[in-house]
């Protein structure tokens, strides 16, 4: 017994000694932080373990102003190499990102080398703590904020290292912090987004963030002011800044990260030592590949329902490394570090703050929210007419008939084939007379081999000097569908005028209603050019991120190609954005109506001018599933008008897959069925009767919901709201909603739960806390935040209305031209307290700037105390002659004794006791006037 006691005492003494040593070592590492705000130690969460340099003495000063920064520097303490290299494997930051290193080469860099059993995952060569880097000087005021000089005494290991930088810190608004890191000695390329983003008004609110700076080696920490949570901490790894390699690492506040598109991923990104490359590439969606668009923006869901976002405004090739620390490393191979931090504090506020920088989305024409039908392989006007007529005969709603490149003479844009499409102008006029619209494809590549004088787009472009040049100053020739092609330089103002002239001339013959800009990464079938590319640092940089094809010029132009603004090396990722801006502007001037543009390539800000589709998806169940996170990601990127090719573009669909895809696609904000020419047909009318009935039913449902969808787009355009919305954005404090990407919302009130598995006839759907009503029959579901097993036969997609909301609807028709004249009806989903609210935005459907000019109607609907009241807040005549034909009220607790409409008895109403639904029919209440429908219980 005594022996045991002595042993216990010895163990305790040893543990105490060890803990004391560890504590002293812990304090010795906390010696070089600049603090600008007091933060209690107990607020520092586990993910802030990497903040190893907080000086306890500075924590006593809680009177320091938020925007005051005291920089301090201290000599490095004498810490053994072993202690500097001792860290958890998930906390290692790669010191050999730029190339593979041996142990000797790693240690020559001053980095740690420690192999692990598994070759995948954490790096073997990694930075020690406090790796030497830039030293920060004092802040001085600038016109926009404050600036400091960063300098390094010895160069880094990178070629063409830049030794002196300028840090500028701009407090843009209370919720937006803006930091830039630039080369002081020479001008470098900086992204300028297309003009027209409204100036932000000065913000008088207190900032939601505080900043702290470590002077040597330089790093910064951004905290959320309300709770001290670390949003960014860049002191964990060195800042590197060379001519063609810029690197910045930061910890993340949680592992719930979304964004960094365009990739084939779930809504939440995998942080288990993954890397994502942002480099626009013509490649069909598949895992671990850089796809058509680049969006260097991410959002982090924090632990308590708060969220923040970070945007790196850089158009060069970017690689983002994600690791389970959780942490992230940006590597850009050009430009500057132009970083925005958005503090939210809720997810929707983060998106609004982001869009205040890149621009709010355009308002789409009403007709563009209808159904679109396309195929590569409608080889004649006769075939195209037959498709549109077959849709009409089978009673499928459709608004827009499309043609792929089949229409073009020798595949040259701005022409049409005189034999197969000789009566294209007449066909388009026929469509217009029937209330249909017409769109065709427009690739950027301009054929360069037609005899001089026979192809005006090239001849005129040559005279006006609009094409991208190669390194020797000659026109760069690539190869696309028509053969050898030149590529317009949309950063040249003259090019936008020439492009408009080409569109105007073509539109005078073929009055298209919108344009589909494809192949605009830009894509080319040869590497770089028909003559290859020079052996330069642009075409073969010191470091190339992991890209499809292995080289930056794979499947596109030479990086050394010259554009008006800069080299293609700097501008490649913006090619689709600049073309979309030119196309949108041209259509606006040529047609005098609201433009419709659909682009494949994208970059931040493209939502101002264009919708996007997700490219050449395959006809399979996995791609059906992944289309939801793809659409939701574009919602986060400010591109609400987005959808995937319904039933798939590549490969043959099946009847079941196509039905399920039409059901899901009816709730894509942009709804188009598109198919490749070699595949089995997938137009709705070619399937069996049951499949057709299911497709017709969901198309009619979409068309009935278009007034609601159009109103959501109005709020996206004017307030930066999202249309297709991840559940976590609406329910940020619900932990179950954080990772859901098989269901989504329209706005805040409709929950869409599609079937995504072959053979499934029931569905486990998550309903967030509250009451949800089936849109189909008003059946209530009282959820505590749980999964429910719902019937989902082939003819059904589950859609639920959230309590407290009113959905404006309209009787469907075969086109929106017809449906817009039909009676409205309301779906009213009462809350437990008997209240609900909704709204309707209504204008002419395709006029320019109707909201900005005040040329619209806006009506709110309020339900409460057993009545529904409309309140037209603004009227302009657009609703004249339109009536409310009826309404259905979900959650009426008992049968009404009677119903009144504007004080008059209504005889045509029904009540179902099982579902508690009141349906009122045969009304004709003018939508442009106040109305009241009440029921007595």
Which tens digit of pLDDT belongs to each residue from 579-589?
Answer: 999 999 999 99
pLDDT tens track for 669-719? 999 999 999 999 999 999 999 999 999 999 999 999 999 999 999 999 999
Helix (H, G, I), strand (E, B) or coil at 865: coil
Nearest-angstrom CA–CA distance, 150 and 167 = 7
User: Using 50, 70 and 90 to split pLDDT, how confident is the model at 119?
Assistant: confident
Instruction: Provide the pLDDT for residue 80.
Output: 55
pLDDT tens track for 150-195? 999 999 999 999 999 999 999 999 999 999 999 989 999 999 987 7
Give the residue ranges of DSSP H helices in 62-210: 81-85, 103-108
Average of per-residue pLDDT values in the chain: 92
Nearest-angstrom CA–CA distance, 64 and 55 = 15
CB contact set of 648 (below 8 Å; sequence gap of 6+): 617, 618, 619, 620, 623, 624, 657, 661, 675, 682
Q: Which two tokens stand for residue 230?
A: 């670390």
| Geometric angle at alpha carbon 598, from 595 and 604, rounded to 5° | 100
Nearest-angstrom CA–CA distance, 573 and 261 = 12
| Geometric angle at alpha carbon 358, from 280 and 560, rounded to 5° | 35
| String of DSSP letters for 664-714 | HHTTSSSEEE---TTSPP--GGGS-HHHHHHHHHHHHHHHHTHHHHHHHHH
User: Using 50, 70 and 90 to split pLDDT, how confident is the model at 65?
Assistant: very low
Distance, first Cα to last Cα, the chain: 81
Under 8 Å between Cβ of 870 and 857: no
Q: Which residue has the higher pLDDT, 73 or 289?
A: 289
Instruction: Provide the pLDDT for residue 199.
Output: 64
Under 8 Å between Cβ of 503 and 590: yes
pTM: 0.92
Nearest-angstrom CA–CA distance, 443 and 517 = 6
Residues 544-565 have a mean pLDDT of 98
Per DSSP, which regions of 830-936 are E strands?
836-842, 857-863, 867-874, 883-890, 898-901, 904-906, 909-912, 917-920, 925-926, 932-936
Nearest-angstrom CA–CA distance, 708 and 705 = 5
Per DSSP, which regions of 776-823 are E strands?
780-783, 786-791, 798-802, 805-810
Q: Does the pLDDT value for residue 14 go beyond 60? A: no
Sign of CA dihedral 588, 594, 599, 604: positive
Of all residues in the chain, the percent with pLDDT exceeding 70 is: 90
Task: Report whether the peptide linkage leading into residue 326 is cis, meaning its omega lies within 30 degrees of zero.
Answer: yes
Instruction: Provide the pLDDT for residue 559.
Output: 98
Helix (H, G, I), strand (E, B) or coil at 151: strand
CB contact set of 556 (below 8 Å; sequence gap of 6+): 280, 281, 282, 521, 522, 523, 524, 528, 572
CA distances from 778 to 773, 793, 798, 828, 889 (A): 5, 18, 12, 10, 8
Nearest-angstrom CA–CA distance, 220 and 223 = 10
Sign of CA dihedral 454, 457, 460, 461: negative
Instruction: Provide the pLDDT for residue 45.
Output: 30
Active site residues: 518, 521
H/E stretch holding 352 reads: helix 347-358
> How many C-beta atoms lie closer than 10 Å to residue 242's C-beta?
19
Residues 324-341 have a mean pLDDT of 98
Q: Which residue has the tokens 């503090």?
A: 343
Nearest-angstrom CA–CA distance, 698 and 704 = 10
Rg (CA), the chain: 30
User: Using 50, 70 and 90 to split pLDDT, how confident is the model at 7?
Assistant: very low
CB contact set of 456 (below 8 Å; sequence gap of 6+): 414, 502, 505
Label each residue of 493-516 as H, E or C.
HHHHHHHHHHHHHHHHHCCCCEEE
Say which DSSP state 602 is in.
Answer: B
Residues 380-391 have a mean pLDDT of 98
What is the β-pairing status of strands 836-842 and 770-774? unpaired
Q: Does the pLDDT value for residue 874 go beyond 60? A: yes
Question: Comparing C-alpha atoms, which of 295, 309, 299, 289 is closest to residue 267?
Answer: 299
């Amino acid at each position: 017994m005594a022996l045991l006691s002595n042993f216990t005492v010895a163990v305790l003494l040893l543990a105490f000694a060890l803990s004391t040593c560890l504590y002293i070592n812990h304090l010795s590492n906390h010696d070089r932080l600049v603090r600008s705000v007091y933060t209690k130690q107990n607020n520092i969460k586990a993910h802030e373990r990497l903040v190893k340099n907080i000086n306890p003495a500075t924590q006593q000063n809680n009177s320091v102003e938020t925007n005051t920064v005291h920089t301090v520097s201290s000599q490095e303490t004498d810490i053994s190499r072993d202690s500097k290299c001792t860290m958890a494997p998930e906390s290692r930051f790669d010191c050999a990102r730029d190339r593979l290193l041996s142990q000797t080469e790693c240690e020559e860099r001053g980095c740690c080398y420690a192999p692990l059993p598994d070759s995948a995952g954490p790096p073997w060569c990694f930075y020690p703590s406090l790796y030497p880097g830039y030293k920060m000087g004092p802040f001085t005021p600038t016109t926009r904020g404050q600036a400091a000089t960063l300098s390094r005494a010895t160069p880094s290991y990178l070629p063409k290292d830049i030794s002196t930088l300028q840090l500028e810190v701009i407090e843009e608004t209370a919720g937006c912090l803006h930091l830039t890191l630039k080369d002081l000695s020479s001008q470098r390329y900086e992204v300028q987004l297309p003009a027209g983003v409204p100036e932000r008004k000065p913000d008088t609110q207190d900032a939601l963030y505080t900043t702290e700076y470590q002077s040597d080696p330089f790093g910064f920490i951004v905290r959320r002011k309300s709770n001290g949570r670390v949003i960014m901490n860049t002191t964990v790894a060195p800042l590197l800044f060379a001519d063609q390699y810029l690197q910045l690492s930061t910890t993340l506040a949680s592992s719930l990260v979304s964004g960094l598109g365009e990739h084939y991923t779930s809504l939440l990104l995998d942080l288990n030592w993954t890397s994502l490359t942002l480099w626009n590439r013509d490649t069909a969606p598949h895992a671990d590949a850089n796809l058509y668009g680049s969006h260097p923006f991410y959002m982090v869901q924090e632990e308590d329902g708060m969220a923040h976002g970070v945007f790196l405004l850089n158009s060069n090739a970017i690689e983002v490394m994600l690791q389970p620390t959780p942490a992230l490393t940006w590597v850009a191979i050009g430009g500057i570090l132009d970083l925005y931090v958005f503090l939210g504090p809720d997810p929707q506020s983060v998106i609004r703050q982001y869009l205040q920088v890149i621009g709010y989305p355009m308002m789409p024409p009403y007709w563009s929210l209808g159904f679109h039908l396309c195929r590569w392989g409608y080889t004649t006007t006769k075939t195209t007419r037959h498709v549109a007529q077959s849709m009409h005969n089978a009673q499928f709603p459709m608004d827009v008939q499309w043609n792929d490149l089949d229409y073009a003479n020798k595949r040259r844009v701005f022409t049409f084939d005189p034999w197969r499409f000789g009566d294209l102008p007449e066909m388009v006029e026929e469509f217009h007379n029937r209330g249909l619209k017409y769109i065709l494809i427009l690739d950027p590549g301009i054929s360069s081999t037609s005899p001089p004088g026979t192809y005006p787009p090239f001849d005129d472009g040559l005279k006006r000097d609009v094409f991208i040049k190669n390194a020797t100053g000659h026109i760069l020739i690539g190869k696309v569908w028509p053969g050898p092609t030149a590529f317009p330089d949309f950063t040249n103002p003259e090019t936008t005028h020439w492009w408009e002239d080409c569109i105007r001339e073509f539109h005078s013959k073929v009055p298209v209603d919108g344009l589909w800009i494809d192949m605009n990464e830009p894509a080319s079938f040869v590497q770089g050019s028909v003559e290859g590319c020079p052996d330069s640092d642009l075409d073969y940089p010191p470091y190339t991120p992991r890209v499809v094809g292995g080289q930056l010029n794979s499947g596109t132009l030479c990086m050394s190609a010259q554009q008006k603004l800069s080299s293609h090396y700097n501008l490649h990722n913006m090619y689709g954005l600049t073309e979309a801006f030119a196309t949108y502007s041209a259509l606006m001037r040529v047609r005098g109506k609201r433009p419709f543009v659909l682009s494949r390539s994208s970059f931040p800000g493209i939502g101002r001018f264009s919708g996007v589709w997700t490219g050449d998806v395959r006809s399979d169940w996995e791609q059906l599933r992944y289309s939801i996170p793809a659409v939701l990601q574009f919602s986060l990127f400010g591109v609400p008008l987005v959808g995937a090719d319904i039933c798939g573009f590549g490969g043959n669909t099946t009847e079941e897959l196509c039905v399920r895809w039409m059901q899901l696609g009816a709730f894509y904000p942009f709804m188009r069925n598109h198919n490749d020419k070699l595949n089995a047909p997938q137009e709705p009318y070619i399937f069996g009767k049951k499949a057709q009935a299911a497709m017709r039913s969901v198309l009619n449902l979409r068309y009935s919901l278009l007034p609601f969808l159009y109103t959501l787009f109005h709020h996206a355009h004017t307030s930066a709201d999202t249309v297709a919305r991840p559940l976590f954005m609406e329910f940020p404090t619900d932990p179950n909603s954080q990772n859901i990407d098989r269901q989504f919302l329209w706005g805040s009130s409709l929950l869409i739960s599609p079937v995504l598995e072959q053979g499934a006839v029931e569905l486990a759907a998550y309903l967030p806390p509250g009451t949800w009503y089936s849109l189909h029959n008003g059946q209530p579901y009282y959820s505590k935040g749980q999964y429910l097993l719902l019937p989902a036969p082939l003819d059904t997609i589950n859609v639920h209305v959230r309590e407290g909301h009113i959905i404006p609807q309209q009787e469907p028709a075969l086109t929106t031209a017809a449906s817009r004249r039909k009676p409205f009806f309301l779906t009213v989903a009462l809350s437990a307290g008997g209240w609900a609210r909704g709204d309707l935005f209504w204008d002419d459907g395709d006029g320019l700037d109707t909201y900005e000019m005040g040329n619209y109607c806006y009506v709110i609907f309020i339900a409460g105390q057993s009545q529904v009241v409309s309140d037209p807040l603004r009227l302009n005549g657009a609703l004249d002659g339109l009536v409310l034909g009826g309404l259905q009220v979900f959650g009426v607790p008992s049968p009404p004794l009677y119903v009144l409409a504007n004080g008059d008895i209504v005889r045509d109403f029904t009540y179902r006791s099982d579902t508690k639904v009141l349906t009122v029919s045969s009304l004709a209440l003018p939508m442009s006037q106040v109305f009241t429908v009440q029921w007595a219980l």
